[in-house]
A and B are shown apart, each in its own frame.
Chain A
Amino acid sequence: MANFYTDTPELRYHLNHPLMKRIVELKERDFTDKDNFDYAPYDFEDAMDNYDKVLEIVGEICGDIIGPNAEDVDHEGPQAIDGRVKYASGTAENLDATRKAGLMGMAMPRRYGGLNFPIVPYIMAADIVSRADAGFENLWGLQDCAETLYEFGNEEQRKKYLPRVCNGETMSMDLTEPDAGSDLQSVMLKATYSEADGCWLLNGVKRFITNGDSDIHLVLARSEEGTKDGRGLSMFVYDKSSGGVTVRRIENKMGIKGSPTCELVYKNAKAELCGDRKLGLIKYVMALMNGARLGICAQGVGLSQAAYNEALAYAKDRAQFGKAIINFPAVQEILSVMKSKLDASRALLYETARFVDVYKAIEDVQRDRKLTPEERTELKKYSKLADAFTPIGKAMASEYANQNAYDSIQIHGGSGFMKDYACERIYRDARITSIYEGTTQLQVIAAIRHVTTGTYLGQMKTYLEQPVKPELEFYKEKLAKLTEYYEKAVNMVTDKKDTEYIDFHARRLVEMASTIIMCYLLLNDANNNEELFKKSLIVYLNHTESEVNKHYSFIADFAPEELGYYKYVSAEEESAQEEV
């Protein structure tokens, strides 16, 4: 009888942000859908109530079905039988429940059978599902691929595939290959056009494909013979019912074990080209990745919540030295820092989701008519902010999920090391979040240009302009000081005008920017709702202060000539240097 939405008041708070007014306005366009669809909203309040009510369903399914199934799914896992995937029985039950509840294709337009939800409530559902079972979020969250099909496929493809996704068919994005992981430019899967069949044929192998036996696949393949880089790659849609792809094996993973990670063999698999040739990687996969990264950000936040809940419950229950361990200062500090990281990363998640929402909705308006100059400015502003916030959201939420999972086990003591408590599963599940859809290191690379070009600093200054209650002024002043430190640190690094030097300090600068931004968001949250957020603001601000100071002094004291000591030099190179 648990409800993972209503039991966490922070979620409802984030859903009801003032920017939702603009987002709903853009998504619903004068609420004209109500004349054609009996489930479309009548006005803003009705739309917001719709999101709230559907999230209640999500919370209920997560509390009653997906959460309770998580342990069995983790133990049972999926199997590859005769080239096909058989899900764990709990996974099948979860899928059945989410399908019957109509939670597939949530963000798709109504004309294709979707709910036309903005990203914010959709990503909130992902946050809730991840708390229940992060592995299941991967299967459910792959409905994201429908977004890419909607954006880049033609109308015929939209009409053919999107209603199927909304009806509960699953998707996968087949990108990675044995020799093409982070470096997707090296993808080799071959696509050749067959005049005889009147379609493209795919041949080759893909590896590490989440839900690789899905009904509808998006496949990155080399359509331009003789090319070697990303410009020779195109995107294809493969429909499982046409046949030609088999599952060779399922990886035996450390975590998210319920989600089948497949090795796929393509033998003359018939496929349709999606979008234009040669834009597969450079345009479509990049767009797909940004959506997927926001999804992993939500997965991290959901896992952080799960880790915190488990730790809190155990600390209240476990007695040592005659009292519950939650009464010991050391345990209290761990718990309050966990909660503050959870609240901070969640604030960043929904801020990012709102930015994505505004720019995507304007882009969608653009498909039907020319934008006004104001709309064009708005599009540019939010698309830049989304681009800047997505990598730091993904990086920070996934790192915090790992830290919180670690701390959750620490609170459990020896029992946490045993397989008896959920914290060990959360720990294993969290580990992948800072790796897939681009490692934290790759997120830093994506984020650093917003450090050097001042996107983050500009946004900090915008936050700084927002007035706060007198009792919070003190914290705002502290934050203004940290912002100055950040600005100085950035200048110290960029003044050297050396890209290698910037790359070396990139992680530090991006972390400084991220933590300060999260503090600003928590300040605003505490200003709106002290009861929910003030504690986390103070705890997280203290944490940020020490992090910023640490990074600042590292950068200030760092001698550029020491850079060489961080490099790996092979024995041959070393001897060659000595000879010189």
Chain B
Amino acid sequence: MSLKIIVLAKQVPDTRNVGKDAMKADGTVNRAALPAIFNPEDLNALELALQIKEENPGTTIQLLTMGPPRAADIIREGLFRGADGGYLLTDRAFAGADTLATSYALSCAIKKIGNYDIIISGRQAIDGDTAQVGPQVAEKLGIPQITYAEELIGVNSESITIKRRIEKGVETVKAKLPALITVNGTAKECRPRNAKLLLKFKHAKTVSEQINLDEDYTNIYSSRPELILNEWSTKDVDANLEECGLSGSPTKVKKIENIVFHAKESKRLGASDDEIEELIVELITNHTIG
């Protein structure tokens, strides 16, 4: 049984290793100071897709990502791990998108790719933490969605069964295909890059990357079309410009505030019996002890 899978993935600034240069004085993220990485939960999503592919020979995986030209890295990283191809949505008109405009752009691209069985994405991206894009894409496509997926229980050409992580336990649900799955960070970690695939696809480039190439490998693309990465603009996916990027984003950032964490829960006490007595009374009163 061969399935067609699309993995939605995002290139994000690595907010896990934040240094003092992480924010600019105006309160926006200093992207230059943070390395651009594959959004961690999207890697969990890719692993789930690879697992389905392994268990169902003939299955193909396409990555779909939206971002600046350098986000082509996301597609390469996918190819290095066993994906079959990918699409980079890149256009100035996509810039400044909130979750609504992003899900619109992605759904346009998915319709363009067409003929899919499963769409898999990470639960949320570490730069926005909204967890909205996956569900919104499912809504726009009018297909069922399973969020917080942790483990694949089974899949056939009709349906997929998934164990999902919920607040106080797990829940096993089944959805008809095509369906969209968002994967939790508690799911299996993504496998490492494969040496042969890395050596094969390290020269894979989008057309605009090929133009800027100063190496001698520019002639290889005519004989190896699999090394040409798809690059799509708003036009290529028949997107309505009104609904893209900043103009399609009803979310307006009103104000950004810098928060300095204070340890308001700590309390300094002296060593006198009175003060200890006072603390014990307080802890009993607020039911911390007793």
Contact = CB atoms under 8 A, between A and B. Distances in A.
Nearest to B37: A1
Interface stretch (A35-43, A220-228, A546-554): A35-43
A60 interface: yes
A39 B79 CA distance: 13
Nearest to A61: B192
Given A38-B224, A42-B220, A43-B216, A102 B195 contact: yes
Interface string A81-112: 00000000000000001001111001000000
Contact of B199 (A53, A97, A103): A53
Interface centre among B17, B198, B199, by most chain A C-beta atoms within 10 angstroms, is B199
A39 B200 contact: yes
Contact of A1 (B17, B196, B198, B202): B17
B195 to A, nearest CB: 4
Nearest to A64: B192
A57 B194 CA distance: 8
A184 interface: no
Contacts of A54: 195, 198-199
Contact of A57 (B17, B192, B217): B192
Nearest to B16: A1
B193 A115 contact: no
Given A1-B17, A53-B202, A42 B217 contact: yes
A1 B16 CA distance: 10
The prevalent SS among residues of B at the interface is helix
A148 interface: no
Contacts of A60: 192-193
Contacts of A61: 192
B194 A100 contact: yes
Interface string B96-112: 00000000000000000
A97 B191 contact: yes
Interface string B268-285: 000000000000000000
A39 B220 contact: no
B195 A115 contact: yes
Contacts of B17: 1
B80 to A, nearest CB: 9
Interface string B219-231: 0100010000000
A101 B194 contact: yes
Contacts of B200: 38-39
A50 interface: yes
Contact of B196 (A39, A46, A49): A39
Contact of A102 (B16, B196, B217): B196
A97 B189 CA distance: 11
A57 B220 CA distance: 25
A50 B199 contact: yes
B191 A100 contact: yes
Interface string A49-85: 1100110010011000100000000000000000000
Interface centre among B16, B17, B196, B200, by most chain A C-beta atoms within 10 angstroms, is B196
Interface in B182-204: 191-200, 202
A101 B192 contact: yes
Contacts of A97: 191-192
Contacts of A1: 16-17
A60 B199 CA distance: 16
Nearest to A97: B192
Contacts of A46: 217
Contacts of A102: 194-197
Contacts of B196: 39, 102, 115
Contact of A39 (B16, B193, B199, B216): B199
Contacts of A103: 195
Interface in A1-41: 1, 38-41
Nearest to A166: B196
Nearest to B223: A35
A399 B191 CA distance: 36
Contacts of A49: 202
A101 B193 contact: yes
5 contacts: A40-B199, A50-B199, A54-B195, A57-B193, A101-B195
Given A41-B199, A53-B198, 19 more contacts: A38-B224, A39-B196, A39-B197, A39-B199, A39-B200, A46-B217, A50-B199, A50-B202, A54-B198, A54-B199, A57-B195, A60-B192, A65-B192, A97-B191, A100-B191, A101-B193, A101-B195, A115-B196, A115-B199
Rank and list the top 7 A-B pairs by shortest CB-CB distance, nearest first. Answer: A39-B199, A102-B195, A101-B192, A39-B200, A100-B191, A102-B194, A39-B196
Interface of A: 1, 38-43, 46, 49-50, 53-54, 57, 60-61, 65, 97, 100-103, 106, 115
Interface of B: 16-17, 191-200, 202, 216-217, 220, 224
